[in-house]
Amino acid sequence: MVGSSSTKQGLSSWIGAATATRTTVDFDKNVAVSGGDSPSHSDNFTDVSLGFGERAISAAGAAVLSAILVNPLDVAKTRLQAQAAGVPYDSLCNLGHLNSNTVLTGVKYNSSGTRAVLGAEPTCSPECFRYKGTLDVFYKVIRQEGFTRLWRGTNASLTLAIPSVAIYLPLYDIFRNSMEEYTLRNIPIATPYVPLVAGSLARSIACITCYPVELARTRMQAFKDTKNGVKPPGVWKTLVGVVSPVNSLNNYQNSMQTYRLLWTGLGAQLARDVPFSAICWSTLEPVRRKLLGMAGDEASATTVFGANFSAGFVAGILSASATCPLDVARTRRQIENDPERALKMTTRQTLVEIWRDGGFKGFFAGVGPRVARAGPSVGIVVSFYEVVKYCLSHRHMHQQSEDADL
C-alpha cells in the first residue's frame, strides 16, 4: 500500500521541488517518492505544510460544488423513498389545505388502490401525482411546483455539507496518516484496512455533529409545498416544526426528550454512513493509487483530478448500491411526524416495516437517483479536495524553495 515502490513513482514531478536532501517525500500518503525507507510522519511534506484549516477550506469548497450540482437527484431519491413510506403525493390534488408536513398518520388505502387522507378521496387520477421513477419526479416537480423546487433543500444541503465535509475529509486524512504510520511500523498486515477504519471513524464524528441539519434537509425535500404564494419553511423553521408538537404533550415535557427529536433517525444514519464510508474508502484508495501510478512522471493537476474523480465515481456507485436499504430506513425515520413513535422506533423495526410494506423491492426505493447522485458527488468532492490540496502543496513548496535560495 503506502510506501511500496510500485506506487511511489507517480508524482515525482509533483513533489520535485522538495528539498534534494529529503529521502522520502509523501503527499498525504496517497502516493510517494522514496529513497527506499518506509514513510514516516516527519517526512510527510504535505502533513507539515497543510494544516487542518487549509484542508477544511478545500473540503468546504468541494462540498458547495457537489451540493449544488446533485441536489435534484437527492430530491428525486427522497421523494421516491417518502412515497414508498406513505407520503400521499397522489392525494394532494384536491387537498391543498393540508399542511405540507402531513405524512403517514391517517394515511390509508381505499379499495381501488389509491390513497386517502383522513377519509378524503382524490377526484383526479392518482397517476397524476404518483412518481414512477427519477425522470417522472423531475417532470412532475417542474410541472406542479416549478423548476426551482428541484433545488429544494439546497440551503440545508449547503448548511450541512460545508461543516460536515470540512470535518469529515480532514479527519479522514489525519486518522489515515496516523494509523498508516503506526501499522507500517508495527502491524504491516493491517495497513490495507486503514482506509476502512479511518473513513468510518471520521464519518461517525461528522454525522453526529451535524445531524439536525441532515434531518431538516430530508424533511424539506420529502414534503410537497401545497400553499400557493407561501414561502416554504427553511432549515430553522423546519427544525422548530419537529420539536414544537412535543411541547404541547403532557408526556413529553422533559426538554431532553424534546431535543432528542432533533436526532431522530441518527442510528439509521450511522448504520448507513459508516458502512458507506468503509466501502467507499476501501475501494477509492487502491483505485486512485493505481491510476496515479499509471501517470508516471507526468502527474499534474489534471491527472490528480482525473484519477480522484474516476476512483470516487466508482467507489460512490458501489457504496450507494450496497447501503440503499439503510438509506431507505433513514429516510422513513426522518419523515415520521408522530413524536412518540419517532422516539421509540429503531432501525431494525423500520427495516421490518419496509419489508412488510414493500418486500425486497421496498429496500431499494429510490436506488436509481441515489446511485446516480453518489457517483458524481463522491467524485466531485474527492477530486476537488485533492486538487486544491495539490495546488496548496505546490504553493508551500515554492515558498520553501525560495526561502532555501535566500
* Residue range 305-335, pLDDT digits in tens: 999 999 999 999 999 999 999 999 988 988 8
Asked whether the predicted pLDDT for residue 403 surpasses 60, the reply is yes
pLDDT of residue 47: 43
For residues 89 and 58, which has the higher predicted lDDT (pLDDT)? 58
Q: What is the pLDDT of residues 240-267, one digit of tens each?
A: 777 775 555 445 455 556 667 788 778 8
Q: What is the pLDDT of residues 352-398, one digit of tens each?
A: 999 998 899 999 999 999 999 999 999 999 998 988 888 888 777 77
For 111-120, 199-208, 366-375, which range has the lowest pLDDT when averaged over its residues?
111-120
Residues of the chain above pLDDT 90, percent: 28
pLDDT of residue 228: 57
Q: Which of 214-218, 246-250, 274-278 holds the top average pLDDT?
A: 274-278
Asked whether the predicted pLDDT for residue 16 surpasses 70, the reply is no
Rg (CA), the chain: 24
pLDDT of residue 229: 58
Which residue reads 435534484 in cell numbers? 72
In degrees, to the nearest 5, what angle opens at C-alpha 8 toward C-alphas 186 and 307? 110
* C-alpha to C-alpha distance for 157 and 220, rounded to whole angstroms: 10
For residues 157 and 329, which has the higher predicted lDDT (pLDDT)? 329
For residues 114 and 35, which has the higher predicted lDDT (pLDDT)? 114
The mean per-residue pLDDT over the stretch 394-406 comes to 74
Asked whether the predicted pLDDT for residue 76 surpasses 80, the reply is yes
For residues 290 and 89, which has the higher predicted lDDT (pLDDT)? 290
pLDDT of residue 1: 36
pLDDT of residue 63: 80
pLDDT of residue 125: 63
Asked whether the predicted pLDDT for residue 401 surpasses 80, the reply is no
pLDDT of residue 211: 87
Q: What is the pLDDT of residues 32-73, one digit of tens each?
A: 333 333 333 333 334 445 677 778 887 888 888 888 888 899
pTM of the predicted structure, to 2 decimals = 0.69
pLDDT of residue 237: 77
Cα–Cα distances (Å) from 261 to 16, 81, 221, 243, 252, in that order, read 53, 21, 18, 6, 11
| 92 confidence band (pLDDT: 50, 70, 90) | very low
* C-alpha to C-alpha distance for 336 and 331, rounded to whole angstroms: 9
Cα dihedral across residues 29, 32, 36, 41: positive or negative: negative
For residue 103, how many C-alpha atoms fall within 13 Å in the half-sphere facing its CB?
27
For residues 106 and 307, which has the higher predicted lDDT (pLDDT)? 307
Average per-residue pLDDT for the chain: 74
* C-alpha to C-alpha distance for 343 and 233, rounded to whole angstroms: 23
| 224 confidence band (pLDDT: 50, 70, 90) | low
Q: What are the backbone angles phi and psi of residue 99, rounded to the nearest 5°?
A: -65, 145
Q: Dihedral angle at the C-alpha atoms of 230, 232, 238, 244, nearest 10 degrees?
A: 10
For residue 117, the cross-strand partners are: 107, 120
| 176 confidence band (pLDDT: 50, 70, 90) | very high
Asked whether the predicted pLDDT for residue 96 surpasses 60, the reply is no
The mean per-residue pLDDT over the stretch 116-130 comes to 55
What's the CATH number for 5-71+151-215+242-405? 1.50.40
CB atoms < 10 A from the CB of 149, how many? 17
